[in-house]
Amino acid sequence: MKVLIVSGFLGAGKTTFIRTLSNRLNKDFVILENEYASINIDKDIIKDDTGLNVWEFTEKCICCSGKADFAMNILTIANTISPEYLIVEPTGVGFLSNVINNISRIEYEQIELLAPVTIIDPNSFFQYIEQYNELLTDQISCAGTVILSKSDRAVDVDVDTVIDKIQAINANANIISRHYSGLSDTALEELLLRKRDGTVEAKPFEAETVFDSISISNAVLSSVGELIIFLEALIRKKYGNIIRSKGTILIGNTPIRFDVSNNNYIIEQADADSKIGCVFIGDGIMTGDLRIKLLPVNLKHNVNNATRNSADNIYD
């Protein structure tokens, strides 16, 4: 379970960002909310908008007085629900450094703390950095990424000045000044791959699917009707998961061309001198059944014998 802390002062837009993140990315999320009051309004907002599992932790601050219970909640989530990602939203008046230290004490192979995110409202930034300097400086200096919220609307301050101040506090922070609603899914997903040391974990390599390819020469059927029945059986996976097939089959003395793709097929008469044969591409292809169905009678006898001999060898 990877843990992403989304920090920020009161009203910065943490909950809105979490809703966007969870709605945009198809990930296994659980949200742990720390509300300083006894009633957690944000829990219902997130749950209604996303349908996610939202845990609440109210009336105690997870960075100080309630840190023991908070750590126990994380362990409980890890050992019972075990989501891919746990998003922790501390109260806006919590020190991010204390939350990080609290989670760090219970990190083990099943719990990994990602680089925290801090949300900043540029409109109120200079007011709050002056009034609550120690708190906001802590939230910025401990963040791996700082996101400027509410930049999708009119901003009353010079954003570049805000960025300069943030960089003066945390020169290593990844600062996103563009509103996150305009970010690509890949850019949002990078927040879930960024480690605390600033490195970005490479996405797991997805091995290329390897398909089988079966060719059958001298393919014959007795009639066009039999060909249609065969192609219907083909797209219904009677002969395995065949995703592409094409070729020319001899029906009587007439070569008939067929093409199967995306569960549809076409049939047309081929040129008289067309080469007879067809190819099947997919996985789990039932090669023996295809050969028995399509080969001339004299060759079908050989396939049947080969199949029977193989079965006999299994039981010898």
CATH architecture, domain defined by 2-192:
3-Layer(aba) Sandwich (3.40)
Mean pLDDT, the chain cut into blocks of 10 residues (316 residues total): 92 88 86 58 41 46 51 84 88 87 85 95 92 94 93 77 96 92 90 87 58 88 95 94 92 94 90 92 88 73 41 37
Distance CA 266, CA 278 (A): 14
This prediction has a pTM of 0.59
CATH architecture, domain defined by 212-294:
2-Layer Sandwich (3.30)
For 246-279, give one letter per residue: b (16+ CB within 10 A) or e. ebbbbbeeebbbbebeeeebeeeebeeeeebebe
pLDDT at 68: 59
Distance CA 87, CA 194 (A): 14
Exposure on the CB side of residue 214, measured as CA atoms within 13 A: 20
Question: What residues does CATH 3.40.50.300 cover in the chain?
Answer: 2-192
In Å, what is the CA distance from 25 to each residue of 39, 78, 187?
28, 21, 11
Question: What residues does CATH 3.30.1220.10 cover in the chain?
Answer: 212-294
Distance CA 104, CA 303 (A): 65
pLDDT at 202: 67
pLDDT at 220: 94
Name the residue among 114, 87, 92, 106 with its Cα closest to residue 36: 92
pLDDT at 35: 60
Distance CA 187, CA 278 (A): 45
pLDDT at 66: 44
